[in-house]
Structure 1
Amino acid sequence: MAAQLPIPIYSSLEDAFGGLRTASGQSVRWANLAQEFKSRFGREPAYIARAPGRVNLIGDHIDYVLFGVLPAAVEHDILIACGPSMSPVSSNSGSVAAHNLDPRYVPQTFAPMLKSAPLPTASEERDAENTVHAESWHMDIDTKELRWESYVKAGYYGVLNHFFPAAAGSTTTGPHPVPVDLLVTGCVPAGSGLSSSAAMVVASTLAFLAVNNKVVGLTKGELVEMAMENEKRVGVNSGGMDQAASVICTPDTALYITFFPSLSAQPTPLPTSRTVPRAVFVCANSLVVSDKVVGAKTRYNLRVVETLVGARVLAHHIGVVLAPTERPTLREVLGRWLGFYEAKNVPSDLDTDMLREGVQKILPYVEKLRPTRDDGELGVTMEEMIEWSGMPEAEFRQVYLSWVDVEATHFQLYKRTKHVFEEALRVLRFRDVCFSSEAAILPRDTLIDLGALMNESHQSSIELCENSCPEVDELVRLAREAGAFGSRVTGAGWGGCTVSLVAEDMVDEFIRSMKSTYPPYKYLGDDELREVIFATKPSSGAFVLKL
């Protein structure tokens, strides 16, 4: 299984990128990063950690309810040059000097503290509500203020608590992390829906692992799980798709990622290189920045809560008995309804055919979550939601609201639940098309079928998940008019990027059409345009280059 493979450690770019041609195209950027690290810190870096962004071809807002998704890593990535610090001011255990090549991001220094060590005074400490504490270590991460170094700190947390717990309670004994210098650069546009945040957390986690000699022996799946937990410390309840794609993806394939009953990743061949005409995926940035941390309580985190409460209400309607304080996902409720229970350490799951049949079977019952009222409002108030759950108010708030900050006047249990099941079905159909033929050459109809599923997915984002925005909808419309087989929002949404399936020999014409019709593109120069709209091939996942 792909998740069980070791994390790659390479000694040359040619090995890392699978050939001299690709490596030569990357070498200047990597060499410049290493040279700048030496200029700032006085020596060569020991490692460069790389983590790519990702484009989700289909399956948004269903990973955190444990349904499968189909992302692919992109060629755009985050690089972190790193090495043990030699500075006399870095004598504190595990202290970090973090620099960024982007001049907008000011260099930062920080050091983790053991919880037994004195905490900062009241004047030094941030708002207590926004401070994240690790199990054994303490660092400030303000979950309400978006700061670049927060993602570096988040990546550090998992390394500290997985590999240095023996140091807890003592400042003189036990293993301690080494002081680290690091320099970050990246070409994954922030807030674009290509998962720059996950790439940053994966790369920083990998950098701290490398400097502390902890990479060997770890699997890709273990890195994914660590990165998932790390990113939650920034304030987003991520489902794991972004981290898994950044770590596990392989060139020329998408990745069918499932999370139930445990993380599993299956390379899925894309038919784009076997069709007539050949096709590629084109990412187009709406230039509406939408970071998951910003506005999470009314957007991303709210949808997490809506789907969880929807699962409990649906379970009640279909006769699935839940424990009073249980908080199952929609995927878990479906499994139990179909008679599948997962015992600890005994994986048991539906195969894709059974899963498809199960989703189709449960969809009619989702209508029971539709409110019956005259005003046409499909959401329910907080009071109605608590009543529908069948739980006492105090118990409901403890189970569903005590661990996350959300805000809404109406909670859309019906819309979100309907989106999840229908999108899960589209992912399975998309996957079926990818595996549908063993023929060397596939017909144009294959691309038409994939495009239709992408178009349906975007319509669901507009009507049910409500994670699109006018600018993204305009980009999607223009992409289809410019000849795309299909186009949709990708990632969390509310801005960011679209992904379009385009005939390879039409890419240049497609991009010219988008430049002339999408207003924010009209006055961009060639270099600027290449940053916001580009064709991409599936990339390899995260790795470490040892220098």
Structure 2
Amino acid sequence: MDIEFVRSRFIKHFDGTTGSVYASPGRINLIGEHTDYNGGFVFPGAVDKGMIAEIKPNGKDKVCAYSIDLKDYVEFGLNEEDAPKASWARYIFGVCREMIKRGVDVKGFNTAFAGDVPLGAGMSSSAALESTYAFALNDLFGDNKIDKFELAKVGQATEHNYCGVKCGIMDQFASVFGKEGSLIRLDCRSLEYQYFPFKPEGYRLVLVDSVVKHELASSAYNKRRQSCENVVAAIKKTHPEVEFLRDCNMEMLNAVKGEVSEEDYMRAEYVIEEIQRVLDVCDALEKGDYETVGQKMYETHHGMSKLYEVSCEELDFLNDIAFDCGVTGSRVMGGGFGGCTINLVKNELYETFITTAKERFKEKFGRSPKVYDVVISDGSRKLC
């Protein structure tokens, strides 16, 4: 994303002067899917694609915002009743309101923003947008600076209270806390976190986007969450200390096999194994063992496809192609039912893999997948 491009649009749409420029990244999650609401670990990292916004206080009591990508201009006040109708503007409005609730004296400002996070690819463009404005407003108007954790919570609260999405904290956390060359293991129960080195020399990280999103995602998500809670309730009868599947092991699960449905058992088996896989990947990264990382990614895909049943034909097909091409690791990334696979690919296999994936996918499904190379990068920051 080009600062000069954003600046040129800001100058054109406002008074010809310039403000301050801020950026926040989108994110990937290397491993740890459907573990967050089970009290487990996730393992995200910020990427080199994100949002850039230029912002300048305007001395008024309203925000004048221009979306460069949508070519859309909106003005809104800073009181609760001033919520704009445009969905993209509600993100900015929500951040303003959440910062005000936390004691930041937000005033009116002019802003223009643009992004290069691919929409619908599971890289959290909305979190990047929220984090950009939370970081910027804290810098511009925050006398008592809010810490980074609270900035991530501002983004999450914006989704909950102004955009109708009951998301977890991972996306905003990764966007704010991102660090070049490192992934972040976040404990979703305690919110403790630790950086782990991710410098895969000789490998590339690439997303292959199936360009499909199946509609049953939200209802299926709720059903799987219920399955996990059913198993926890059964185990809790003999292990009252258990709160989440994170507290369980396979021995506990097998002890209640006759008390839960086959479906619930499968869902819990996947989650218990996935929580352990995140820890195994962390250990492997500390040793620079990317082959084990890749093996665990394939295990995750198999679990999401066969046990949690949140994959789809297109994603399984892309995963099979990766395996056939000798790709080190591949799995569905995100909640499932569409979106991307994330792939850890040796440099010398990259061209063959991408060419094969595009050709075979188009032959089978009649369209080409999109390909995004990603590099692990820094989190929210001021550019100038």
Using the size of structure 1 for normalisation, the TM-score is 0.64
Structure 1, unpaired ranges of 5+: 1-25, 114-136, 165-175, 323-327, 335-357, 372-377, 380-412
Q: Does 1:222 align with 2:150?
A: yes
**Aligned equivalents of 1:302, 1:467: Cα separation in 2:** 11
Q: Does 1:150 align with 2:90?
A: yes
Q: Deviations over 1:313-350 (max 9, x none)?
A: 4323x33179xxxxx5434xx2xxxxxxxxxxxxxxxx
1:54–1:194 CA contact under 8 A, matched in 2: yes
Worse-superposed segment, 71-80 or 39-48: 39-48
* Corresponding position of 2:269: 418
Q: SS in structure 2 opposite 1:367?
A: coil
Counterpart code for 1:96? V
Counterpart code for 1:65? N
Counterparts in 2 of 1:366 and 1:541: CA distance versus 1, 3 Å: farther
Counterpart code for 1:30? I
Quick one: which of 315, 318, 321 aligns to 1:475?
Answer: 318
**Aligned equivalents of 1:38, 1:56: Cα separation in 2:** 36
Counterpart code for 1:182? T
* Corresponding position of 2:249: 359
Pairing 1:52-451 to 2, within 5 Å after superposition: 52-85=25-58, 91=60, 93=61, 95-103=62-70, 106-113=72-79, 137-138=80-81, 140=83, 147-163=87-103, 177-213=106-142, 217-233=145-161, 234-261=163-190, 263-270=191-198, 272-273=200-201, 278-289=202-213, 297-316=218-237, 318-320=238-240, 328-331=243-246, 334=247, 359-365=249-255, 367-368=257-258, 370-371=260-261, 378=262, 413-435=264-286, 437=287, 446-451=289-294
Counterpart code for 1:163? G
The structure that is strand-richer by fraction is 2
Number of matched pairs: 382
* Corresponding position of 2:13: 40
Q: Deviations over 1:267-297 (max 9, x none)?
A: 1113622xxxx2121111111247xxx8664
1:475–1:518 CA contact under 8 A, matched in 2: yes
Counterpart code for 1:281? L
Counterparts in 2 of 1:473 and 1:179: CA distance versus 1, 3 Å: same
1:46–1:211 CA contact under 8 A, matched in 2: no
Q: Deviations over 1:216-273 (max 9, x none)?
A: 7333222222222222232232222212211112111211111332x22211113622
Q: SS in structure 2 opposite 1:496?
A: strand
**Aligned equivalents of 1:195, 1:296: Cα separation in 2:** 16
**Aligned equivalents of 2:359, 2:227: Cα separation in 1:** 40
Counterparts in 2 of 1:303 and 1:153: CA distance versus 1, 3 Å: farther
Q: Does 1:491 align with 2:334?
A: yes
**Aligned equivalents of 2:114, 2:222: Cα separation in 1:** 28
Counterparts in 2 of 1:463 and 1:213: CA distance versus 1, 3 Å: same
Counterpart code for 2:239? G
Q: Does 1:539 align with 2:377?
A: yes
**Aligned equivalents of 1:252, 1:517: Cα separation in 2:** 33
Using the size of structure 2 for normalisation, the TM-score is 0.88
**Aligned equivalents of 1:139, 1:311: Cα separation in 2:** 43
Counterparts in 2 of 1:523 and 1:230: CA distance versus 1, 3 Å: closer
**Aligned equivalents of 2:81, 2:232: Cα separation in 1:** 35
Pairing 1:446-461 to 2, within 5 Å after superposition: 446-461=289-304
Q: Deviations over 1:331-385 (max 9, x none)?
A: 4xx2xxxxxxxxxxxxxxxxxxxxxxx63554434635532xxxxxx45xxxxxx
**Aligned equivalents of 2:319, 2:116: Cα separation in 1:** 23
For the pair shown, the structure with the greater C-alpha radius of gyration is 1
Q: SS in structure 1 opposite 2:46?
A: strand
